[in-house]
Chains A and B, each alone.
Chain A
Amino acid sequence: MNSLPIGYRFGLVLLALLAGSPWLPPWLLFMLTIAAANGLVVLGCMLFYRAGLVSFGQALYFCAGAYTTGLVTNLLGVIDVLLLLGLSGLAGGLLAYLVGFLLARYRGIFFGLLSMAFSMILYGVLTKSESLGSTDGFNVPAFTLLGFEPDQPQVRFTLLAVAVAVIWLVSLVTDRFLRSPYGPLLVAIHDNEIRTEYMGASAKNTVHLVYVAAGILAGMGGCIGATAVGHIDPTMAYWTTSGEFVFITIMAGVGSVVAPFLGALVFGIIYTIAFSESPNTWQMVLGASLIAVILLLPNGLWSLLAKRKGAQA
């Protein structure tokens, strides 16, 4: 098993999950789908986290993807989930490409807060837009998959299957990218930008590149989130949503492309249990669990699996 590339091992796990999912309760299917959506955004966060950058504004692209799905379904009547995924990813990527021209020049706290400022601009615009439902947002109609219209009991399963296929595909692609010299280059940018420039690489262009990739991933995450919930509103762009992604990134660790999905799943489990057991103090439970992870597993949850396998994956 260990000789298999991480992407294939992850694929087997996902396949097993999917095979078992018809027996899982609907709430769990929903939780898994949301974890997949969050995991996509966090996978993007992981890319620039490796270059030492933390964004408090990734919700911008998550929300842009969600609203793209919402608007395209409602206005154009396009409801095929694969098309929606593509369009939402495109919207996220395009937006990140434009914002990236400015952001890729900044590092540290400036990068983090400037990205947050952009997401709050979108939040502000959305809450003031009556035609988009203002703070209430609007509903996203049921989706189809290549002409197949899943009926009520099948909807959650179908969406999970799509989400699983997407996260498998993007983790294979991302893993391949990180195994190219771009992987070490990201760490190099974090370590010493002067040396990197004097080796002939452009730190700015590299950050811009992964920023766009992260935008695409977040846009697709937004599409899955919007389709799963069936409703979107401006809080998807709010800074606390970005905070959740940062939370998961740090909790998960950045050792592998699988880590973001593991992190998003654990986050979902803690959130669900904490929220149902103590509706008034669930934030405390989340906070405590992050502190525990930081203290006990400085390299994140992923280090648990990486250690056991005795190899970095």
Chain B
Amino acid sequence: MSQTVLHAKGLEKRFGAVVAATEINVEVPEGACLGLIGTNGAGKTTFVNMITGYLKPDEGRITFGSVDITGKAPREITRLGVCRSFQIPQLYNSMTALENLEAAFGIVLLNSASGGWFVSPRTPVPGYGAPIRELAEQALERFELTAYRDKVTRVLPGGVRKVLDIAMAMAVQPKILLLDEPTSGVSAEEKFGIMDMVMGVVREAGTTVLFVEHDMEVVARHADRVLAFYDGRIIADGKPDEALNHEQVLKHIVGHTQHATTGQ
């Protein structure tokens, strides 16, 4: 068994009388690929938001490696190596796809030991050994975005924006990547192609992945472990075929009709 890289212990988050998440206990081993499933409002995004510092849990602890990251600011958590994409892609909308990635790698350069007020953009980015422009071009290619290189991101199609959002998060070379519904708003035909490509790139980099997903086929295809959320709790945690066929999961999340498609 590989080492635990992320450990959430007894997390709880309330919004007034609403309990968004409670008794969340998760240990994520290094190199794992976890699928997070559940209906809307089940607590998946709340969980992702607590891990990435967008929300501070009311109870519980989150440790990343040996560092306690509970309640730390998003940028601190990001710098430690926990990055995320968003359900609604968060891009620099006035910039082109290339400029988005250049800005992303630029921030990585500024945060490194080589960064400074007057650092040249041609300085090799530590951890990569290549300058910003080159890295941005490589990322475009790797994520199959070259065709959109010089398009302003405001006008890009939803699926492309999703992929670019993930490419930006990957610029930080995270140890853990959290993807919040990477295929929502993407057409059924494109979904599998995009997911295969993204997962291929991300897994090749050795990144541990947690992804929130509604499509059980996508989950079964990519996750090596599934966390099922219902009413703020984790009701099942295990291998995809076990978790997706768990009685409570079938009842509350998957629905019996979809059962047939998930069995592998």
B107 x A185 contact (CB < 8 A) = yes
Q: Which residues of chain B have C-beta atoms less than 8 A from A21's C-beta?
A: none
Interface residues of A in 37-53 (CB under 8 A from B): none
Q: Which residue of B lies closest to A191 (CB)?
A: B92
> Among the interface residues A177, A184, A190, A209, which one has the most CB atoms of the partner chain B within 10 A?
A184
Residues 94-127 of chain B: 1 if any A CB is under 8 Å from the residue's CB, otherwise 0?
A: 1100010011111111110001111111000000
CA distance A180 to B111 in the complex (A): 13
Q: Counting CB contacts under 8 A, is A195 at the interface?
A: yes
Q: How far is the CB of B128 from the nearest CB of chain A, in Å? A: 14
B119 x A201 contact (CB < 8 A) = no
> Among the interface residues A173, A187, A195, A197, which one has the most CB atoms of the partner chain B within 10 A?
A195
Q: Which residues of chain B have C-beta atoms less than 8 A from A198's C-beta?
A: 52, 74-75, 78, 83-84, 90, 169
Q: How far is the CB of A177 from the nearest CB of chain B, in Å? A: 6
A185 x B103 contact (CB < 8 A) = yes
**Could you list which residues of chain A lie within 8 angstroms of chain B, going by C-beta atoms?**
173, 176-177, 179-182, 184-185, 187-188, 190-192, 194-202, 209
Q: Which residues of chain A have C-beta atoms less than 8 A from B83's C-beta?
A: 198
Q: Counting CB contacts under 8 A, is B244 at the interface?
A: no
Q: How far is the CB of B183 from the nearest CB of chain A, in Å? A: 20
A177 x B110 contact (CB < 8 A) = no
A187 x B121 contact (CB < 8 A) = no
Point out the residue from B110, B117, B118 that lies within 8 Å of A201, measured CB to CB.
B110
CB contact under 8 A between A197 and B73, given known A188-B103, A191-B95, A192-B93? yes
B95 x A200 contact (CB < 8 A) = no
Point out the residue from A180, A188, A196 that lies within 8 Å of B118, measured CB to CB.
A180
A181 x B132 contact (CB < 8 A) = yes
A181 x B106 contact (CB < 8 A) = yes
B92 x A199 contact (CB < 8 A) = no
Q: Say which size band chain B's interface belongs to.
A: 35 or more
Q: Counting CB contacts under 8 A, is B172 at the interface?
A: yes
CA distance A191 to B107 in the complex (A): 15
Give 27 A-B contacts (CB < 8 Å), ordered by A residue: A177-B117, A180-B110, A181-B105, A181-B107, A181-B110, A181-B132, A184-B99, A185-B110, A187-B92, A187-B94, A187-B95, A188-B95, A188-B103, A191-B91, A191-B92, A191-B94, A194-B86, A195-B168, A197-B74, A198-B78, A198-B169, A199-B75, A199-B108, A199-B168, A200-B107, A201-B75, A202-B75
Q: How far is the CB of A255 from the nearest CB of chain B, in Å? A: 14
Q: How far is the CB of B101 from the nearest CB of chain A, in Å? A: 10
A182 x B117 contact (CB < 8 A) = yes
Q: A181-B107, A187-B95, A199-B108 are in contact. List 4 more A-B contacts (CB 8 A).
A: A181-B115, A184-B103, A199-B103, A200-B79
B106 x A185 contact (CB < 8 A) = yes
Interface residues of B in 57-83 (CB under 8 A from A): 73-75, 78-79, 83
